[in-house]
Structure 1
Amino acid sequence: MRGGPDRALGSLTSRGRCLLAGGLALGLVGVVLGERSLVQLAAFVLVLPLLAGVTVARGRFRVTTRRTVTPQRVPRGTAADVELRLQNVDARRGGLWLLAEQLPATLGRPHRFTVAGLAPGATTTVRYRLVGRHRGRYRLGPLRLWVLDPFGLVERTAVGSDTAPLVVVPRVRPLGRGGPGGGSGGGDGAHRAFAVHGDDDVSIREYRRGDDMRKVHWRASARTGELMVRLEEHPWRAQGTLLLDTRARAHLVAPARDAGRRVPGPPDDPSPPGDSFEWLVEAAASIGVALARRGARLRVVTGTDDPAPGAAGAALGAEELLDRLAVLGASRARDLSDAVPAACRAAGDGPLVCLLGAVGPDDVAELVRLRQGPVPGLAVLLDVASWGEPGRGRRGATGAALDALAVQRDQAVAVLAGAGWRVTTASAGQDVGEVWAALIGTPAGAPA
């Protein structure tokens, strides 16, 4: 960052403009009254801003900045420390500098500092802390510098070009040891070994609708009298698939800048999710990270812009999942017609965990029809109305509309439970760990 006489000229501050206006008024009064002394005083007052402007415009400065963010990835609701080092690389002492660190609006107001008389080659360090209250990828900076004359009448500005990244990822809540991918509750198919040699060692199971007929084990079928399917030549590997209902119409989405709104949540949570969509993203992060850290091959399906592995099928790791969920936004999709088939194909015979917003029986009927695996599906249905402000419903919905949503949710729970799914509901006052414990502790075929 540098400035010189060939750069933009200085401009009057509020103090300078007031002084200039006062000088003009004083001169006018002196002329009208014929008072020579008032005219002389007015001329002196008018010369001051002009001299200050020339002084500031002729001044040179060269400043280098280096910004360090620790850590560069923070969970939502936690703080990051920023260290800003400024060095005067000019041969002359710096003047009075006003500094402002530019920040995205969702991270707060710009941080302002004052540095006066920085010696040539000297370095000063400024530190501040900011809290990542909203998920996303941000750039901190650049630094804006104001040069002032000693009287504060004229200022010049210069803007640097250096920035630093900050990624605010979803929080990861503790879930316990149960569930798919390891521990109790996930043994029914979460970890399965498949034979790799010999027809006698091939694992088989009963044929289910949708199975590939090429995998029918005819010898076992003839022996049992029923169609049997081989589970063939797959290496041992846990897997897990998450289906996220990211439709904006299925959630109460709070404005990003609505910082003053009272957010409902568990009493012991200092930074609860601001709306049902944020709760869903936080649940996806917690469940996905738990599966990935247990060695599961993770897939995430949202219907549009899926944060999923590439075509090669590489595993989605915990850190990559968090980075992609950090920028996940609500979609304009009207239904789950694209997401459900993709999730069922990705899950195969492995666990499928569905995190759903405001849904009804028609929304989950396709899940029941397409999900034909040995492992029961798991579903969490959100009570989106519980994230509304007191006295207000979903986008101004009436009490009757909210009751209709509740009825549809209960019907969807009954449809899933009747098909053998493990299903529970989640509200704003519940933590992800609490909902997960209720989900995996529920016997298959019975709602929580």
Structure 2
Amino acid sequence: MGARGRALSALTFRGRCLVGGGLVLALTGAVLGERSLVQLAVFVLALPLLGALTVARSRFRMSTRRTVTPQRVPRGEPAEVLLQLENADTRRGGLWLLTEQVPAALGRPHRFSVAGLAPGATRTVRYRVTGRSRGRYELGPLRLRVVDPFGLVDRTVAGSDTAPLAVVPRVRPLGGGGPGGAHGRGGDGSHRAIAVHGDDDVSVREYRRGDDLRKVHWRATARTGELMVRLEERPWRAQATLLLDTRARAHLVTPARGVPRAVPGPPGDDCPPGDSLEWLVEAAASIGVALAERGAAVRVVTEAGELSPASGLGAEELLDRLAAVGPSRRVDLSAAVASACRAAGNGPLVCLLGAVGPEDVAELVHLRPATGTDTAILLDITGWADAGPGRGRRTGPGAARDALTAQREQAVALLAGAGWRVTTAAAGQDIGEVWAGVAGVPQGAPS
């Protein structure tokens, strides 16, 4: 952009109108020979120049600091932002028109003004944002607009500082029902007790050549007449694995800038998931956090890869990883099934599946037969089709719905026949109710 373009862009609408009026006055005065009109035109045209000079000489060395509380919020919950402004210049500031940039998923930009801030003085601004969609966002930067006293010329400068905000999936209470993270199939997934309640309970074995003599258990040695040593094991931690189906073809997903579906939720839930993928991610968060709080290391596998390290995730780490989960373009679930089964080992496996058929779960039956502790939740996505338009798999009336229902029922029968705990979840159904129903325990019943 040339010098002329930059000058025009600095003019406000009022300034452009004044320049246009001044040119018309000058032309009219020249044509009519009216010197007074020409003099008036010169005065009018001089005003934007004076305004530009005022803005150019304005100094706005300003420092900002943001504090976001909390830095991680569940979907649908607000966060408070404390924005502290300081005039870092040695001169009093002019009229500052400020705009705080906010991602569209968190709301609209916040605009406010600050006038005559003294050198070294601070001004504090508070505002709230609401996480409408999961994700990791940056609040800011701040855009500063300086305007001359006549409102004819302005100058805009953007800062570079931002503050992070993570919108994580909600964690719903699961009650006392459902499988537990410590209920494995033996081996690494089941509890092996090495009692340490008292000295008499310590597990011992006979001394072998090369054993550390510091581990000799003298009381057991005196009792048996043989040299005995303490038997030690590494600390054990239960493990649970979640298989999360994020394939776009298996869900009805709200477009990024679309209007969320008005899906009715359970009583007391004023912010139910707006699409089927959000329901499954929220279910993964709720189940994973519940298992982590019971002492399990949680691993999460999707068709795009494993979200967690081999050592598993804690509750907060799990929510951070799930915050960024979106629909996948993969169409095949077999690789994810194989990866989840390897990750699960002898521990429990919980599968959270979208629209699937028997061919999608056949590999699960082959790799994990007759477990009795593995769980599958199959989602009926047709409820979101009734709530509004979306992208991803389409479900129309009649034959298409019947076909999806038939495929899902075949998948349920196949898993149940192989010894899985399996159930179907519908739109608007609470995950706590579904999880309790897997074990046949009514919601709210004592565990």
| Partner deviation per Cα, 1:22-47 (whole Å, 9 max, x = no partner) | 22123223333433333222221111
SS at match of 1:266: coil
| Partner deviation per Cα, 1:407-446 (whole Å, 9 max, x = no partner) | 1111111111122211111111111112111122279xxx
Check whether the contact 2:185–2:348 (CA below 8 A) recurs between aligned residues: no
What CA distance in whole angstroms lies between the structure 2 residues aligned with 1:392 and 1:120? 54
SS at match of 2:306: coil
- 2:396 corresponds in structure 1 to 398
What CA distance in whole angstroms lies between the structure 1 residues aligned with 2:141 and 2:154? 19
Please list every run of 5 or more consecutive structure 2 residues that lacks an aligned counterpart in the other structure: 1-5, 196-202, 206-232, 443-447
SS at match of 1:61: coil
- 1:250 corresponds in structure 2 to 250
What CA distance in whole angstroms lies between the structure 2 residues aligned with 1:260 and 1:276? 11
The residue type equivalent to 1:291 in the other structure is: L
Check whether the contact 1:351–1:375 (CA below 8 A) recurs between aligned residues: no
- 1:353 corresponds in structure 2 to 350
- 1:308 corresponds in structure 2 to 308
What CA distance in whole angstroms lies between the structure 2 residues aligned with 1:358 and 1:127? 44
- Cα shift at 1:60: 1.8
The residue type equivalent to 2:248 in the other structure is: A
- 2:61 corresponds in structure 1 to 62
- 2:328 corresponds in structure 1 to 331
- For normalisation by structure 2, the TM-score amounts to 0.83
- Cα shift at 1:307: 0.8
What CA distance in whole angstroms lies between the structure 2 residues aligned with 1:63 and 1:192? 60
- 1:420 corresponds in structure 2 to 419
- 1:362 corresponds in structure 2 to 359
- Cα shift at 1:188: 7.8
Check whether the contact 2:87–2:93 (CA below 8 A) recurs between aligned residues: yes
- 2:292 corresponds in structure 1 to 292
Check whether the contact 2:66–2:163 (CA below 8 A) recurs between aligned residues: yes
Mean Cα deviation higher: 354-363 or 263-272: 263-272
Check whether the contact 1:350–1:373 (CA below 8 A) recurs between aligned residues: no
What CA distance in whole angstroms lies between the structure 2 residues aligned with 1:54 and 1:45? 15
- 1:20 corresponds in structure 2 to 19
The residue type equivalent to 1:32 in the other structure is: V
Mean Cα deviation higher: 40-49 or 257-266: 257-266
What CA distance in whole angstroms lies between the structure 2 residues aligned with 1:380 and 1:419? 15
- Cα shift at 1:248: 1.0
What CA distance in whole angstroms lies between the structure 2 residues aligned with 1:38 and 1:104? 50
State the Cα RMSD in Å: 2.5
What CA distance in whole angstroms lies between the structure 2 residues aligned with 1:187 and 1:314? 17
- Cα shift at 1:289: 0.4
Using a 3 Å threshold, how does the CA distance of structure 1 residues 273 and 289 change in structure 2: closer, same or farther?
same
- Cα shift at 1:296: 0.8
SS at match of 1:249: helix
What CA distance in whole angstroms lies between the structure 2 residues aligned with 1:389 and 1:114? 45
Check whether the contact 2:26–2:42 (CA below 8 A) recurs between aligned residues: yes
| Partner deviation per Cα, 1:72-118 (whole Å, 9 max, x = no partner) | 11111101100111111211110010111112222222111100111
SS at match of 2:257: coil
SS at match of 1:166: strand
Check whether the contact 1:85–1:124 (CA below 8 A) recurs between aligned residues: yes
Mean Cα deviation higher: 35-44 or 324-333: 35-44
- 1:11 corresponds in structure 2 to 10
- 2:265 corresponds in structure 1 to 265
- For normalisation by structure 1, the TM-score amounts to 0.83
Using a 3 Å threshold, how does the CA distance of structure 1 residues 74 and 382 change in structure 2: closer, same or farther?
same
Using a 3 Å threshold, how does the CA distance of structure 1 residues 347 and 107 change in structure 2: closer, same or farther?
same
Identity level (%): 70
- More contact order relative to length (CA 8 Å, sep ≥ 6): 2
Check whether the contact 1:181–1:238 (CA below 8 A) recurs between aligned residues: no
What CA distance in whole angstroms lies between the structure 1 residues aligned with 2:185 and 2:270? 37
What CA distance in whole angstroms lies between the structure 1 residues aligned with 2:387 and 2:78? 29
- Cα shift at 1:64: 0.7
- Cα shift at 1:14: 1.2
- 1:238 corresponds in structure 2 to 238
| Partner deviation per Cα, 1:329-363 (whole Å, 9 max, x = no partner) | 22111111101111112222221111000100111
Using a 3 Å threshold, how does the CA distance of structure 1 residues 104 and 305 change in structure 2: closer, same or farther?
farther
The residue type equivalent to 2:139 in the other structure is: L
Check whether the contact 1:348–1:373 (CA below 8 A) recurs between aligned residues: no
- 1:321 corresponds in structure 2 to 318
- 1:147 corresponds in structure 2 to 146
- Cα shift at 1:392: 5.5
What CA distance in whole angstroms lies between the structure 2 residues aligned with 1:264 and 1:31? 72
Aligned length: 398
| Partner deviation per Cα, 1:225-250 (whole Å, 9 max, x = no partner) | xxxxxxxx896542211111111111
The residue type equivalent to 1:386 in the other structure is: G
What CA distance in whole angstroms lies between the structure 1 residues aligned with 2:361 and 2:184? 25
Check whether the contact 1:349–1:375 (CA below 8 A) recurs between aligned residues: no
Q: What does 1:73-92 align with in structure 2 at a 5 Å threshold?
A: 73-92=72-91
- Cα shift at 1:388: 2.0
Check whether the contact 1:238–1:295 (CA below 8 A) recurs between aligned residues: yes
The residue type equivalent to 2:396 in the other structure is: T
SS at match of 1:165: strand
Please list every run of 5 or more consecutive structure 1 residues that lacks an aligned counterpart in the other structure: 1-7, 200-232, 444-448
